[in-house]
Amino acid sequence: LGTPARPTSQRIPTAEGVSVPSPMLSPPQLHPSMHQPPTYQQPHPYHHQPPYPQQHPPPHPPAAAFQPTAAGWGGSPLGTMELAAVRSQVAALAEENAHLRGVNSDLRETCSHLSSEMAKIKRAFGALSNLVDAEIEGVHSDAAKLRAEITPLKEARSALQAGADRQDAELTQTRALLEEHSRGAEEWARGLSADVETLRREAAERWRLCVEDARERSRATEELKAEVLAQAEAASSHTSGRSRAGLG
């Protein structure tokens, strides 16, 4: 691979097209004292700085002391591995960036489509709201008309109810009078029946007396007739005797 050039700063493009500086593409700047072989356990090969010993951590060197070594950054196997890892990471980031750009484009198209659909929905909701408002206004006007028509009907119903109440009261009074007159008529009928029975008995008695009187008169008439006939026969016989005597 050779010794890579030390770029002062490199930028990674993002999804929005704005590049930001990437510190991982710059070679690590270590203190010269850190290039000496350590006396403790070797760190992980991907660590830029080995951990300090826990017993006596070295003091922080000044910022001016951190300068790159003359041998270069990529001369060691560790630098080569770091560079390969950084390149693979850059490739992965570029691929991910391309994917994110595609996703961003799809999202923009989707947002545009959703915006147009939302505008259509808003217009539809506006038309529906206007229609509902018109229907509500019509219902309110119909309700006002119905109230105006119901008011005289309520008044007429109240008048009819008052008339029905008066008729019920009059009917109750009439029923009471009829019951009272019915009781009086029953008493009068019972009295009339008694009077009729009395008159019937009196008429029967008078009829019996009349029949007896007629019989008596019939007997008297028969006796008078017989007496008259006897007298007539006697007179006739006397007249005939005198006439015979005169002739002799």
Q: How far apart are CA 228 and CA 222, in angstroms?
A: 10
Comparing 14 with 85, the larger pLDDT belongs to 85
In this prediction, residue 69 has a pLDDT band, given cuts at 50, 70 and 90, of very low
Q: How far apart are CA 126 and CA 244, in angstroms?
A: 160
Q: Is the dihedral of CA 56, 59, 60, 63 positive or negative?
A: negative
Q: Is the dihedral of CA 218, 220, 221, 227 positive or negative?
A: positive
Kindly calculate the radius of gyration of the chain based on its CA atoms and give it in whole angstroms.
75
Separation of CA 74 from chain center: 80
Q: pLDDT tens for residues 78-98?
A: 667 788 888 889 999 999 999
In this prediction, residue 230 has a pLDDT band, given cuts at 50, 70 and 90, of confident
